[in-house]
Amino acid sequence: MKSPKELLHQFTEKLSQIKALEELETLEIGYLGRNGLINQQLKNIKEIEASERKTFGQEVNAFKQQVQDGLSSKRSEILKAKNNKKTIDTTLPATAYPKGSLHLVTYAIEEISNIFEKIGFIRMSYPEIEWEFFSFEALNMPSDHPARDDFETFFMDHTPHEEHGKMVLTPHTSSGQHREMRRLGKPPIRMINIAKTYRPNWDASHVPMFHQFEGLCVDKRINITHLKGTIDYFAKQFFGEDRETRLRPFHFQFTEPSFEVDITCDICQGTGKVNGEKCRLCKQGWLELGGTGMVHPNVLSAGGIDPDEYTGWAFGFGVERVMMMRPGVGLSNMRLLYDGDIRVLEQF
């Protein structure tokens, strides 16, 4: 595996030969794309000696910044040279063209990725079509668990696997926990998995296809304070510094102890009242954000990790849900995001 310094030298040589924007875009994808060289460096960090991983990570981040700066500078250079060849009458009125934008969910996914990248979480992606084993057994969910009913999960018309069972449209990003533990083989693990998930529900707060983001952190002496601190960090970065969170005891099959995560309502600022009246949105000052907890020992064992030596936490939040709860968004019906009504999308 080449070092960041070697890759930078290679990048600099290629950049110096670029003459057109099309060539520049190809180079950018090769280095900064999802399957680019920089992400490959981060994915292969497990091959680095534990004592050298921090330094290696810093070198990769520095390399990434140099690549971004180099691409930006070269793009400006190409555009400037291109414009100098044209004669433009700057006194003519400009032509107004319709301005498009990314989908609101795409904006949310990119921001969530950036928030967790700052604290060392690596963005991963796992299959949307999954096996029962990864979605249920590996997560400590028995064969008679309600989530495995046809009313809760989309089962595929496919020949069952001898070991992994039936094929399903992945009902949650939690299946990535087992795959990530098996992929790395040994902690430390800091992973954020953002993907489409599927459940046969359709109402104001549920759609059959939606997005989740799954956080997983496994290492020695990981405890609930680390979990709470990470969730607080995310809430303040995404929702605002004035928002607070709390952990409310709950039950999930794959975590123990388990919690529902609540966040203070942005309408009443957590007081439960607006102008002396009960808040119409939250009724009590808190809104449910998602589920979390300490990874169950059985889940760690299934992932090949010794639960007597390592502990970890995990959470699963809906991208659409957290985005709808953000101040200023004002969406009360999740189905509006996927109805294809351009008037909704034009607001953002």
Q: Are residues 178 and 116 in the same domain?
A: yes
Q: Are residues 170 and 64 in the same domain?
A: no
Residue-level pLDDT at 60: 82
Domain, as residue range, for 35: 4-84
Residue 184 lies in a domain: yes
- 167-186 burial code (b ≥16 CB/10 A, e <16): bbbbbbbbbbbbbbbeebee
Task: Kindly give the confidence (pLDDT) of every residue in the chain, 348 residues in length, as a single tens digit, with 9 standing for 90 and above.
Answer: 677 778 788 888 888 888 888 888 888 888 888 888 888 888 877 777 888 878 888 888 888 899 899 889 988 888 888 777 666 677 888 888 877 788 889 999 999 999 999 999 999 988 899 999 999 999 998 888 887 777 788 898 999 998 898 999 999 999 999 999 999 989 999 999 999 999 888 777 778 899 999 999 999 999 999 999 999 999 999 999 989 999 999 999 999 999 999 998 877 878 888 888 888 767 788 888 899 999 999 999 999 999 999 999 999 999 998 888 888 777 778 888 888 888 887 777
Q: Are residues 109 and 53 in the same domain?
A: no
Q: Are residues 68 and 114 in the same domain?
A: no
Q: Are residues 241 and 194 in the same domain?
A: yes
Q: Are residues 41 and 128 in the same domain?
A: no
Q: Is the distance from CB of 154 to CB of 185 less than 8 angstroms? A: no
Q: Are residues 175 and 59 in the same domain?
A: no
Q: Are residues 74 and 119 in the same domain?
A: no
Residue 90 lies in a domain: no
Q: Give the span between the Cα atoms of 107 and 173, in whole angstroms.
A: 19
Q: CATH number, domain at 297?
A: 3.30.930.10
Domain boundary among 55, 84, 113: 84
Domain boundary among 49, 84, 119: 84
State both tokens at 115: 């928030």
Q: Are residues 61 and 155 in the same domain?
A: no
Q: Are residues 203 and 278 in the same domain?
A: yes
Residue 99 lies in a domain: no
Domain boundary among 50, 84, 118: 84
Q: Are residues 59 and 160 in the same domain?
A: no
Residue-level pLDDT at 1: 62
Residue-level pLDDT at 335: 86
Q: Are residues 159 and 269 in the same domain?
A: yes
Residue 294 lies in a domain: yes
Q: Is the distance from CB of 177 to CB of 184 less than 8 angstroms? A: no
Give the predicted TM-score (pTM) of the model.
0.67
Residue-level pLDDT at 85: 66
Q: Is the distance from CB of 113 to CB of 123 less than 8 angstroms? A: yes
Provide the number of structural domains found in the chain: 2
Residue 92 lies in a domain: no
Q: Give the span between the Cα atoms of 23 and 39, in whole angstroms.
A: 20
Residue 89 lies in a domain: no
Residue 302 lies in a domain: yes
Residue-level pLDDT at 86: 60
